[in-house]
Structure 1
Amino acid sequence: MVRIIVLFVVIVVIAMVVLGVARMIRSFSAPEPVVDSPREILRRRYAAGEIDEDEYLRRMSGLSQEW
């Protein structure tokens, strides 16, 4: 009976180690999320037609100002 319990504990520990290593590998290989600059977001919105030229220029000039 003791052998079965020890074997079970060993299997659980091995499984936890394997899952931990797999999680670490997955986290290292995951690409970093791309964070776009506000200017790039405005360029994309203008190119997609979401905002017009006046809105684009107004917002870009607002980004150029230092507060």
Structure 2
Amino acid sequence: MGWPMLVGGGIWLLVLVAVAMLLWLALRPREGGRDSQARELLDARYARGEIGRDEYLEKRKDIAG
């Protein structure tokens, strides 16, 4: 066995970790996904005059958390 086998196994481990990280980065939710959509809908409703300023500010605060 010896150290060359350990190095080869270590390289494969690094490859597997790199692939796992790439998959995680590709499949994770994007920043501001749901909150951003909610804010866009709220902005559109306010712009169309469907809701007033007070309701807009209250809902915007709720969305922001």
Unaligned runs of 5+ in 2: 44-54
Unaligned runs of 5+ in 1: 51-67
Instruction: Output the TM-score relative to the length of structure 1.
Output: 0.51
Structure having the higher Rg:
1
Higher relative contact order (CA 8 A, sep 6+): 2
1:22 match? 20
Displacement over 3 Å in runs of 4+ = 35-42, 47-50
Higher percent of residues as helix: 2
Question: How many residue pairs align between the two structures?
Answer: 47
Q: CA RMSD in A?
A: 3.3
Instruction: Output the TM-score relative to the length of structure 2.
Output: 0.53
